[in-house]
Amino acid sequence: MAKPKNTPRAAPLLTFAVRDIKEQGGLTHTGTVPVDSLAAEGTFGEAKPKGPASVDLEFSVGGNSILMQGRVDCDWQLPCNRCLGPVDAAFGEDIEETYPITQETIDLTDDLREALAISIPQRVLCREECAGLCAKCGANKNLGPCRCDAPAAKP
């Protein structure tokens, strides 16, 4: 029997009632959200969240729509593109979306997942002067010279 796919579950903290936003003339929300509630494992490639994502959101009502502006931030661990060693870094993204005032709820799960994915850079280095891996033997050149660099012994 096939194992069920690890799919994200709805994050109730990211679902907002339009009625509440309209009645209050807007709404602000600050909190944290487990990244696994936003996306299935592997969604962010080799980037692994080191904790929950922090969100800071503000909803405002205008005409026939609701404007949501905010920011999502998360601490990640990614592999260095040169030596494959772990790199801990924080990335975030500003978000802005408009929703029709006629819907009952606003679910931000997809919008926050997309913002997190966009925030992660394609390439990251453990340090600017990272020496990388030896192309011959795969040794981490940051830890010292590899045997490939050693002069051959004279017979």
* 83, part of any domain: yes
Confidence of residue 122 (pLDDT cuts 50, 70, 90): confident
Looking at the structure, tell me whether residues 47 and 91 fall in a common domain.
Answer: yes
Looking at the structure, tell me whether residues 120 and 136 fall in a common domain.
Answer: no
pTM: predicted TM-score of the whole model, two decimal places: 0.76
pLDDT digits over 90-120, tens only? Answer: 999 999 999 999 999 999 999 998 999 999 9
Q: What percent of the chain has pLDDT over 90?
A: 63
Looking at the structure, tell me whether residues 103 and 33 fall in a common domain.
Answer: yes
Looking at the structure, tell me whether residues 43 and 64 fall in a common domain.
Answer: yes
pLDDT digits over 50-105, tens only? Answer: 999 999 999 999 989 999 999 999 999 999 999 999 999 999 999 999 999 999 99
pLDDT digits over 132-144, tens only? Answer: 999 888 899 999 8
Residue 8 has pLDDT above 50, yes or no: no
Looking at the structure, tell me whether residues 19 and 44 fall in a common domain.
Answer: yes
Looking at the structure, tell me whether residues 152 and 112 fall in a common domain.
Answer: no
pLDDT at position 11 is: 45
For the chain, the three-class secondary structure string (H helix, E strand, C coil) is: CCCCCCCCCCCHHHEEEHHHHHHHCCEEEEEEECHHHCCCCCCCCCCEECCCEEEEEEEEEECCEEEEEEEEEEEEEEECCCCCCEEEEEEEEEEEEEEECCCCEEECHHHHHHHHHHHCCCCCCCCCCCCCECCCCCCEHHHCCCHHHCCCCCC
* 5, part of any domain: no
Q: What is the mean pLDDT of residues 11-37?
A: 87
Looking at the structure, tell me whether residues 153 and 98 fall in a common domain.
Answer: no
* 2, part of any domain: no
* 3, part of any domain: no
Boundaries of domain holding 149: 131-155
pLDDT at position 71 is: 96
Looking at the structure, tell me whether residues 115 and 95 fall in a common domain.
Answer: yes
Looking at the structure, tell me whether residues 85 and 33 fall in a common domain.
Answer: yes
What's the structural domain count of the chain? 2
Looking at the structure, tell me whether residues 58 and 102 fall in a common domain.
Answer: yes
pLDDT at position 36 is: 80
Looking at the structure, tell me whether residues 71 and 147 fall in a common domain.
Answer: no
* 4, part of any domain: no
Looking at the structure, tell me whether residues 69 and 145 fall in a common domain.
Answer: no
* 26, part of any domain: yes
pLDDT digits over 13-22, tens only? Answer: 689 999 999 9
* 7, part of any domain: no
